[in-house]
A and B are shown apart, each in its own frame.
Chain A
């Protein structure tokens, strides 16, 4: 893989952000709303990619970090009446704390054991949500009231239920996380993470503290996922336990695999692709998951490194 100049890499990413900004003005209403949702969930995928793509740790429990942000932000508004910025930060803090604790415990394992441990922790988190149904709404979930989803700055206010405000909020979050991700993977820390993925023992022998680096990646990953969950609660107004189920641990894995693991933009591409395959296929048949399955098999056969991963391998070696 050849190295891109910083200007080239940042120009590409800023170009993608500019494209998404421009799309806000031309997309039909439905796709405008769908893309806002996709951008928030692409942040979830980017957080997952940080650990899976760059460190090579396959987690089957990242739904708990998304849900930590979702509930952290949602419950702060619903039960404590906190303002939206404070609730958003609360969601992020919940995710950061949870990923620290889970990281300290789960990173003692690797490979299949890591998958199982993370899945078990996520299951515990899911059942905890059901257990405390009096506060979490259990499997039925809770609605964040529409009047509470208005951001006020003195005399001005931003209504997060307004499609344009919501789209721009989602884009802002997506942009910040995309640029942070890019900065991390291009940093010394990012290179150490890739070294751990390629050969952890050798990285240790070179004098790096691999546990600390992995823990840092875990916290960054969990925090980004929590930011996505917190944004989801506040932008779309629903907090429910299905977001903590195993399905939501598998989904970011699929999005990242589709778009291309260890590519900064692959998470967005994978999420967009998967969303539209489901959206279009479900309009024709109730067996749309079969079509999704076939699409996944074809992608694995012809794009084994995901869409962007294959493009990087064959044509654009400089893609970060």
Chain B
């Protein structure tokens, strides 16, 4: 393979320019004849077609990024927008000169939002496409299923999942999440605002699977530190299509309903909740995950008017949007309502997809820091990524500033709390990075590369 052969040339180059090397002109006695021979041999080598090819490979061959996309399956709506955002980021990076002067090429494979297929796709990137890294996975079970394959193939795996799995340090040293905060941090950041503004007695309604369990487990302790409490937790089976029978379980003294229902049933959930309470309802707080890629003005969602949502990045353009945020939205192609430019009904997954943009810029930075040349430098790339500590807000990180903990491979950033007002989501509060920090649960850097 050109890249491997090129790396050998590079290694020789390193050796001969070594001060202690045999080709150190200051030390050797070099005759003119020998020098001419050397020059002639060098010229011949340079003219050889193979050498030209290798030189080009070194200087301009694309950096191949394997994009593990949820093109089909339950994650398809996210997958489509993740692809759009990544394509926009790649274009922006390539237009600005690429990474170390080399353009990025995205190689896309569909994982069907299936963990078994996900592992196969990671293997395919590593051994068939021979990509430099793998990137872009959202759904937690696909990340969990694919992570062992990344570790075994020793290929860096940059996910944009928001799951706590990476930061839990239960995966391996090759898995990173530097572009989006994890759910534990997000929930912890919400607690102070909920306790201070929405109410002290909280009832949680969540789907009876992993995403819901994160909220079930992390919210109560976070609220407790703020002087508030969870007074009831209602888990709803994922197969449920009607929710009215669960609402009588909500205690009468509830001041806030914290809901994180996801999937197609969310419209029914909100509609039935509205019918149950009428106009006299407690405060509502939810995670926008429920309504990503769904128009907030869809019939049945009127009940959400005046309620609050977590958003990673705001769906609707805000009055105080930074120039970087505006440029990012324009590059990705979303309008002021967070829908596709040219198709107002094609609502984006704005709260999450910024993570793809930011992750690709983190990869760029880490590759440049590592002097990354090719797959032989993957270990260097891992170490360079672990050495990163913060990302300033700007064109590369339009969502906001972040810190990065190299020991747990996870970034920490600000969160947005938005209120549904007049059929739009308006940001009413931005949390601080410190609100979402927690004790590291392990240290990936102690694992062998």
Cβ contact within 8 Å between A286 and B144: no
What count of chain A residues pass the 8 Å CB interface test? 34
Q: A242: CB under 8 A from chain B?
A: yes
Among B72, B127, B210, the residue within 8 A (CB) of A28 is B127
State whether A130 and B208 are in contact (beta carbons under 8 Å apart), knowing that A33-B127, A139-B141, A143-B147 are contacts in the complex. yes
- Cβ contacts B109-140/A at 8 Å (1 or 0 each): 11010111001100110011000000000001
A152, CB-defined interface residue at 8 Å: no
Query: Is B213 among interface residues, defined by CB-CB distance under 8 A?
Result: yes
B116: A residues at CB distance < 8 A: 238, 240, 242-243
In the assembled complex, B71 has its CB within 8 A of some CB on chain A = yes
Across the interface, do A242 and B120 meet the contact criterion of CB distance under 8 Å?
no
- Asked if A282 contacts B128 (CB within 8 A), the reply is no
- A133-B209, A240-B115 known; A142-B110 Cβ under 8 A: no
Instruction: Name the residue of chain B whose CB is nearest to the CB of A237.
Output: B148
B273 interface residue (CB < 8 Å to A): no
Kindly state whether residue A61 has any CB partner on chain B within 8 Å. no
Q: Least Cβ distance of A167 to chain B in Å?
A: 13
Question: Contact: B151 with A141, CB < 8 Å?
Answer: no
A30 touches B209 (CB 8 A): no
Q: Is the CB of A138 within 8 A of B209?
A: yes
Tell me whether B66 is interfacial, beta carbon within 8 Å: no
CA distance A139 to B152 in the complex (A): 23
Measured between C-beta atoms, what is the minimum distance from A290 to chain B in Å?
A: 11
Given A29-B128, A30-B124, do A146 and B148 touch, yes or no (CB 8 Å)? yes
B172 at the interface (CB under 8 A from A): yes
**Chain B residues in 8 Å Cβ range of A238:** 115-116, 119, 144-145, 147-148
Which residues does chain A contribute within 8 Å of B329, judged by CB atoms?
none
The answer to whether B326 has its CB under 8 Å from any CB of chain A is no
* Interface assignment of B170: CB less than 8 Å from any CB of chain A: yes
Judged by a CB distance under 8 angstroms, whether A214 is at the interface is no
CB <8 Å contact, B210 and A139: yes
What residue in chain B is nearest A123 (Cβ atoms)? B239
A252-279, CB under 8 A of B: which get 1 and which 0? 0000000000000000000000000001
Q: Known interface pairs A30-B128, A130-B209. Does A143 touch B144 (Cβ–Cβ under 8 Å)?
A: yes
List B154-203 residues whose CB lies under 8 Å from chain A.
163, 165, 170-172
Asked if A161 lies at the interface with its beta carbon under 8 angstroms from chain B, I say: yes
Question: Cβ of B208 and Cβ of A240 under 8 Å apart?
Answer: no
Residue from A30, A143, A241, A283 having most chain B Cβ neighbours under 10 A: A143
Question: Contacts A282-B110, A289-B72; is A240 near B128 (CB within 8 Å)?
Answer: no
B165 touches A140 (CB 8 A): yes
Contact with B along A283-299 (1 / 0, CB 8 A): 10010110000000000
Chain B residues in 8 Å Cβ range of A143: 144, 147-148, 170-171
**Given A29-B127, A143-B148; A286-B210 close (CB under 8 Å):** no
Residue from B116, B208, B213 with most neighbouring chain A CB atoms (10 Å): B116
Q: Are B144 and A142 in contact (CB under 8 A)?
A: yes
Do B128 and A28 touch (CB < 8 A)? yes
Q: Is the Cβ of A286 less than 8 Å from the Cβ of B72?
A: yes
Picked from B114, B127, B213, B237, the residue with its CB within 8 Å of the CB of A138 is B213
Q: Name the CB-closest residue of B to A127.
A: B237
For B172, list chain A residues within 8 Å (CB): 146
Interface presence of A196 (CB below 8 A): no
Residues of B within 8 A of A29 (CB): 127-128
- Report which residue of A37, A236, A238, A283 has the largest number of chain B beta carbons within 10 angstroms of its beta carbon: A238
Q: Knowing A144-B148, A146-B151, say if A286 contacts B208 (CB, 8 Å).
A: no
A34 at the A/B interface (Cβ < 8 Å)?
yes
* Bound CA span A241–B115, Å: 10
A33 to B109, CA, bound (A): 17
- Using Cβ atoms and an 8 Å threshold, which residues of chain A touch B144? 137, 140-143, 238, 240
Give the residue of B115, B127, B165 whose beta carbon is less than 8 angstroms from that of A242.
B115
Q: A140-B165, A140-B210 are in contact. Are A288 and B110 (CB under 8 A)?
A: yes
Report the minimal beta-carbon distance from B4 to chain A, rounded to whole angstroms. Answer: 14
Question: What residue of chain A has the Cβ atom nearest to residue B214's Cβ?
Answer: A140
> Given A140-B140, A288-B72, 8 other A-B contacts at CB below 8 A?
A29-B128, A30-B123, A34-B120, A127-B237, A138-B209, A141-B115, A238-B119, A289-B72
**A-B complex: 7 closest residue pairs judged by Cβ atoms:** A237-B148, A30-B128, A29-B127, A140-B210, A30-B127, A139-B209, A286-B71
Interface set of A (CB-CB < 8 Å, partner B) = 28-30, 32-34, 37, 127, 130, 133, 137-146, 161, 236-238, 240-243, 279, 282-283, 286, 288-289
Q: List 18 A-B contacts (CB under 8 A).
A: A37-B120, A138-B210, A138-B213, A139-B141, A139-B209, A140-B141, A141-B145, A146-B148, A146-B152, A161-B148, A236-B119, A240-B144, A242-B114, A242-B145, A282-B110, A286-B110, A288-B72, A288-B110
